[in-house]
Amino acid sequence: MNDLKWGVQSWDISEAKYMLDEFLELYGERPLKNNGGGMSSTHLFWTWYVLKKMNPENIIESGVYKGQGTWLMSRACPKAKIYSIDVKLSQRVYIDENVTYFSKDFYYINWKKILKPENTFCFFDDHQDAYLRLMQMKWMGFKKAMFEDNYPVLQGDCYSCKKVISGCGLTVDGNVIIEANDAHSDYFAENIKTYTTFPPLFKNEKTRWGDSWDDVNYPTPAPVFSNKDIEKYRQVKEEADAYTWICYVELN
Ligand SMILES: C[S@@+](CC[C@H](N)C(=O)[O-])C[C@H]1O[C@@H](n2cnc3c(N)ncnc32)[C@H](O)[C@@H]1O
């Protein structure tokens, strides 16, 4: 099942291309010029875009790595209280004294004692199971989230929303971790209000895995910029293959 045709899309992104210059000015100030293994322009752009529009009171970030995303979130929503989680906090390079850090999984934190879930935005870039994260969110009272690692059916190390919707389960290096099933896609459909995959800013001919970036194996929304338009934004073009179908999900 092509997840782009699934459910309700909640984001009008028609103005996004006019916001890239503003974003790139901020991106030029980022603490980590080289953030290999972490977020770069495409995903940081959409994170910034969504956060600016939503302006939540609280942000929970799971998967800090060196801290580029934490920095961006603090700039997108300077008034928000940020809670950042990583099981290996020692990797941080950018450390923000206004952020509350945790080294235990999202699942183990008693959020009730810390914040009100209503105006809280969750951002997952921790390569964990998105289906379980959504179940945990529901239990804890959170409704809005982005998943950075929304890997397509054939790729990636974690159970993404795309995989859940398609019913393919999770296979990593030939090992079946989660069996193909229709239960998860059915319960997902029952519990999700909106699901939106953001487009790449620019689309290469080949995927990051070296095969053809076609719509059969890799359904992808139309890129924001064409080949011609992107020439002006060299850095965005160079970082284009870091794209992993970042998505926004809202629970009922
Ligand atoms: C791709 S990196 C995150 C990149 C980061 N968001 C950025 O802005 O560049 C994934 C991170 O998830 C962390 N991680 C792994 N398991 C986790 C868990 N259960 N909870 C939170 N973080 C976890 C890893 O230690 C790693 O630092």
Q: What is the pLDDT of residues 110-156, one digit of tens each?
A: 999 999 999 999 999 999 999 999 999 999 999 999 999 999 998 99
Q: How many structural domains does the chain have?
A: 1
Which of 127, 132, 147 has most ligand 1 atoms within 8 Å of its beta carbon, as the pocket-test mutant?
A: 127
Domain containing residue 193 = 3-251
The pLDDT, as a whole number, for residue 135 is: 98
Rounded mean pLDDT of 196-218? 94
Q: 């965005």: which residue's tokens?
A: 236
User: Which residue puts its alpha carbon closest to atom 21 of ligand 1?
Assistant: 86
How does residue 4 score in pLDDT terms, banded at 50, 70 and 90? confident
Distance 18 CA to ligand 1 centre (A): 30
What is the tens place of the pLDDT at every residue in 56-84?
999 999 999 999 999 999 999 999 999 99
Distance 56 CA to ligand 1 centre (A): 22
**Token pair for residue 251?**
């629970």
- Whether the per-residue pLDDT at 5 is higher than 80: the answer is no
User: Which residue puts its alpha carbon closest to atom 9 of ligand 1?
Assistant: 38
The pLDDT, as a whole number, for residue 1 is: 65
Rounded mean pLDDT of 43-51? 98
Q: How far is CA 159 from the centre of its chain?
A: 13
What is the tens place of the pLDDT at every residue in 150-201?
999 989 999 999 999 999 999 999 999 999 999 999 999 999 999 999 999 9
Ligand 1 atom closest to the CA of 69, numbered from 1:
8
Please state the pTM of the whole predicted model.
0.97
Distance 39 CA to ligand 1 centre (A): 10
The pLDDT, as a whole number, for residue 10 is: 83
How does residue 219 score in pLDDT terms, banded at 50, 70 and 90? very high
How does residue 25 score in pLDDT terms, banded at 50, 70 and 90? very high
DSSP string, 58-99: EEEEE--TTSHHHHHHHHH-TTSEEEEE-TTGGG-SS--TTS
Arithmetic mean of pLDDT over the chain: 95
Distance 14 CA to ligand 1 centre (A): 30
How does residue 35 score in pLDDT terms, banded at 50, 70 and 90? very high
**H or E segment at 197?**
strand 192-197
Alpha helices in the chain (DSSP H): 20-27, 41-54, 68-76, 130-140, 161-166, 183-191, 227-230, 234-238
The pLDDT, as a whole number, for residue 236 is: 92
The pLDDT, as a whole number, for residue 161 is: 97
Which CATH number goes with the domain that contains 8?
3.40.50.150
Q: What percent of the chain has pLDDT over 70?
A: 100
Q: How far is CA 102 from the centre of its chain?
A: 19
| Ligand 1 lining (C-beta closer than 6 Å) | 35, 37-39, 62-66, 68-69, 85-88, 91, 105, 125-128
Q: Which pairing describes strands 144-147 and 192-197: parallel, antiparallel, or unpaired?
A: unpaired
Q: What percent of the chain has pLDDT over 90?
A: 91
